[in-house]
């Protein structure tokens, strides 16, 4: 290992290299190195034609992965989500680089397969969605369809269909650490999430590539206890100290460093959320939970409302709340700081979280929805022609026992459509998986049944025609129609208890 400047590290990245980078929103992002890659390319034309791989979205709409949206710098982007990247999303939409979208959890776990020399991942995640090679194969723009290799295939094992995600060589791995000692041992003690640093370093090292770590601080030999070494020195080739940590190595977009995101609760009560339509949706959604449930929340309305709704009802300790970044417990942050929680109870590696999710460990997930069609399919990955990507949506919605889509019918875009623009959630696959699927809005609740959507609840003061008039296809209604709880629309709600966990819930998805 040696200490290098940003420019020296970037000079080690060859043209045409496959580069794996770590991060989640702006957490874990090696901003100094990303910035250096863009600046060096603009000045010299190198490194160019890179294949850049990222498991999670990495931006705050301004920096991070947005540095790579420069024509000629990237030949291909292989990632999961570009929702917080307006320049990159437009860049891929205009066909200025090949765009391959794969599920976040499959990319995170694929790093470990590459490190271990395995040919890839075999899983049922992705079947029936746009990632399925019989539909789009994850190739989401024309250059990818014309030139990108096939990253996925269908394989039959014991008479059952599986998705096979192929391994590939990683020439350069880039991650960041809070502290690095003179030997190159890396600690992530001040990072809000652990993510994929170790897996990326192992994968690049075992691909005969180079590993670059951005350091927030350089510390003395022995300052990092062995159990706190997240990536050992033997895997690290270059260490770059961030020249401006306040700007280039922030714990989150919103803060340089705050103990609240890495420390357990002190028992202090967190501020209550202000009432909004979004909060009303979260309040309704959480009442489908049971005591002891292990729950995931997605970005958007779920990320902004489910945690606060649980906190105000004094239910945070009755369920286990998780985020796919690897965080357990606490009250989730929303918007561009999605992925962390205030006062978490545990922070584990990104891929380990998805192992648990993909294996059926989740009792429930709360996700947003961009479009819902007559079959109950959902699109969140291509909206208004914009390439957004799926993030961890496919992994999570294909493995949770209860899938609860939370979205508002307000807004300029129609949520119910005859046919979704892209198949991110397959209703047919959900039925095969025996999953319970709900669609919760501020006006009504729908359920996925064997023959499509059914209206099961409406808001107080509304009639069935008031709701179905906003749906451009026939939907059956269970009459007499139930009413959504009145108190979810009030400024505050009283604490309440969740029902006990029924034995029938246990193991619904096991053995798929």
Given a contact cutoff of 8 angstroms between Cβ atoms, the answer to whether 173 and 212 are in contact is yes
Structure confidence at residue 507 (pLDDT)? 47
277-505, CATH topology level: Glutaconate Coenzyme A-transferase (3.40.1080)
Q: 307 pLDDT band (50/70/90 cuts)?
A: confident
- Please report how the helices 301-312 and 277-286 are oriented relative to each other, as an axis angle in degrees rounded to 10: 70
- Beta strand 382-383 pairing with 378-379: unpaired
Task: Flag the least confident range among 47-61, 147-161, 379-393, 399-413.
Answer: 399-413
Paired tokens of 389 = 């990507």
Q: What mean pLDDT comes out for the span 40-67?
A: 97
Paired tokens of 118 = 């395995």
Paired tokens of 183 = 């030997």
Q: What mean pLDDT comes out for the span 4-8?
A: 98
Structure confidence at residue 502 (pLDDT)? 83
Is residue 171's pLDDT more than 90?
yes
Q: 413 pLDDT band (50/70/90 cuts)?
A: confident
Residues 6 or more apart in contact with residue 19 via CB below 8 angstroms: 13, 50, 51, 52, 53, 170, 171, 172, 173, 174
Instruction: Return the higher-pLDDT residue of 504 and 42.
Output: 42
Q: What mean pLDDT comes out for the span 172-177?
A: 98
| Other CB atoms within 10 A of residue 148 CB | 21
| Other CB atoms within 10 A of residue 478 CB | 13
Q: pLDDT tens across 78-97, in order?
A: 999 999 999 999 999 999 99
- Beta strand 371-372 pairing with 341-342: unpaired
Residue 101 host element (H or E): strand 98-101
Q: What mean pLDDT comes out for the span 147-151?
A: 98
Structure confidence at residue 478 (pLDDT)? 85
Give the torsion sign (CA, 363, 358, 199, 393): negative
Q: What mean pLDDT comes out for the span 392-407?
A: 98
Taking the alpha carbons at both ends of the chain, their separation in whole angstroms is 45
Task: Flag the least confident range among 206-220, 349-363, 379-393, 489-503.
Answer: 489-503
Structure confidence at residue 270 (pLDDT)? 52
2-243, CATH topology level: Glutaconate Coenzyme A-transferase (3.40.1080)
| Bridge partner list, 149 | none
Structure confidence at residue 274 (pLDDT)? 86
Is residue 273's pLDDT more than 80?
no
Task: Flag the least confident range among 264-273, 353-362, 476-485.
Answer: 264-273
Catalytic positions are 324
Structure confidence at residue 336 (pLDDT)? 86
| Other CB atoms within 10 A of residue 487 CB | 12
Q: What mean pLDDT comes out for the span 44-65?
A: 97
Is residue 269's pLDDT more than 90?
no
Given a contact cutoff of 8 angstroms between Cβ atoms, the answer to whether 347 and 328 are in contact is yes
Q: 280 pLDDT band (50/70/90 cuts)?
A: very high
Structure confidence at residue 62 (pLDDT)? 96
What's the mean pLDDT when you consider all of the chain?
94
Residue extent(s) of CATH 3.40.1080.10 domains in the chain? 2-243, 277-505
Structure confidence at residue 512 (pLDDT)? 40
- Beta strand 74-79 pairing with 331-332: unpaired
pTM of the model: 0.95
């Amino acid at each position: 290992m040696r200490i290098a400047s940003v420019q020296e590290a970037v000079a080690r990245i060859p043209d045409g290299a496959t580069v794996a980078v770590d991060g989640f929103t702006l957490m874990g992002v090696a901003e100094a190195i990303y910035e250096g890659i863009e600046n060096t390319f603009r000045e010299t034309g190198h490194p160019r034609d890179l294949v850049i791989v990222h498991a999670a979205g990495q931006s705050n709409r301004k920096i991070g992965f947005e540095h790579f949206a420069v024509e000629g710098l990237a030949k291909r982007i292989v990632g999961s989500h570009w929702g917080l990247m307006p320049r990159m999303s437009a860049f891929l939409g205009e066909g200025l680089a090949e765009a391959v979208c794969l599920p976040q959890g499959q990319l995170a776990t694929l790093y470990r397969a590459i490190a271990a020399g395995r040919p890839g991942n075999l899983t049922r995640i992705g079947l029936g969605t746009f990632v399925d090679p019989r539909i789009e194969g994850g190739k989401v723009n024309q250059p990818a369809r014309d030139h990108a290799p096939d990253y996925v295939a269908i394989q039959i094992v014991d008479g059952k269909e599986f998705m096979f995600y192929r391994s590939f060589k990683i020439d350069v791995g880039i991650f960041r650490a809070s502290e690095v000692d003179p030997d190159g041992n890396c600690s992530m003690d001040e990072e809000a999430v652990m993510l994929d640093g170790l897996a990326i370093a192992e994968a690049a090292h075992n691909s005969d590539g180079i590993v670059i770590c951005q350091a927030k601080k350089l510390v003395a030999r022995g300052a990092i206890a062995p159990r706190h070494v997240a990536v050992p020195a033997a895997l690290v080739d270059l260490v770059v100290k961030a020249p401006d940590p306040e700007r280039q190595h922030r714990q989150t977009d919103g803060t340089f460093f705050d103990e609240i995101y890495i420390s357990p609760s002190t028992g202090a009560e967190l501020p209550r959320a202000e009432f909004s339509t979004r909060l009303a949706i979260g309040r309704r959604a959480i009442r489908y939970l049971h005591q002891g449930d292990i729950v995931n929340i997605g970005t958007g309305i779920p990320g902004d409302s489910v945690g606060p709704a649980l906190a105000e009802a004094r239910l945070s300790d009755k369920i286990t709340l998780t985020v796919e970044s690897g965080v357990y417990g606490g009250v989730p942050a929303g918007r561009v700081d999605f992925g962390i929680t205030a006062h978490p109870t545990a922070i584990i590696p990104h891929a380990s979280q998805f192992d648990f999710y993909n294996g059926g460990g989740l009792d429930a997930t709360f996700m947003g929805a961009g479009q819902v069609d007559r079959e109950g399919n959902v699109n969140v990955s291509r909206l208004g022609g914009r390439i957004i990507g799926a993030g961890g949506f496919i992994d999570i919605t294909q493995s949770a026992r209860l899938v609860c889509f939370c979205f508002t019918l307000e807004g300029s875009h129609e949520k119910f459509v005859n046919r979704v623009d892209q198949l991110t959630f397959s209703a047919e696959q959900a039925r095969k998986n025996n999953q319970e699927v709900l669609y919760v809005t501020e006006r009504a609740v729908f359920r996925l049944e064997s023959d499509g959507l059914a209206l099961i609840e409406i808001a107080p003061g509304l009639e069935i025609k008031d709701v179905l008039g906003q749906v451009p296809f026939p939907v059956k209604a269970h009459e007499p129609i139930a009413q959504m709880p009145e108190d979810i629309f009030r400024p505050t709600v009283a604490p309440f208890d969740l029902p006990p966990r029924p034995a029938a819930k246990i193991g619904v998805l096991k053995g798929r």
